[in-house]
Amino acid sequence: MKKIINLVLVVFVLTTFHVSANNVTSFEEDLPKAVKAMSEMIKKNLEDFEFENEALVDVVFTVNSDDELVILNVKTNDSEIKEYIKLTLNSLKIEDANLYVGKNYTIKINFTKSN
């Protein structure tokens, strides 16, 4: 009888752990949504920005607890583009993008000359 009670208790505990593990809400990061918001911000501000050369820029950023971008590094030799990206994107609020706080992300931005 004692073995049956122990077995029932073990099954109950394992079932409880299994059920509670299934109730964890899933967190899916949405990097495309964040990139889209960043692209829209750049396009919106690009009208006032004139640059001489084309450039492919790597931007390394993270997200703080307020869902704001924190630009960590801009990899380019063009100091004008580097400063522009930092000023435009730093502290940009990305709502509902579900990016992990503190995780580093890298995106590429292609600047081309306008005709």
Q: What is the CATH number of the domain that holds 84?
A: 3.30.1150
pLDDT at 22 over 70: no
* pTM, two decimal places: 0.65
- Domain tally, the chain: 1
List all residues 6 or more positions away from 93 whose beta carbon is below 8 Å from its beta carbon. Answer: 66, 67, 68, 69
Residue with tokens 């050369």: 53
Domain extent for 91: 31-111
Predicted confidence band of residue 72 (pLDDT cuts 50, 70, 90): very high
pLDDT at 62 over 80: yes
Residue ranges in 23-115 assigned as alpha helix (H): 31-46, 79-89
The Cα–Cα gap between 59 and 74 comes to: 5
4 located within any domain: no
CA 10 to chain centre: 41
pLDDT at 86 over 50: yes
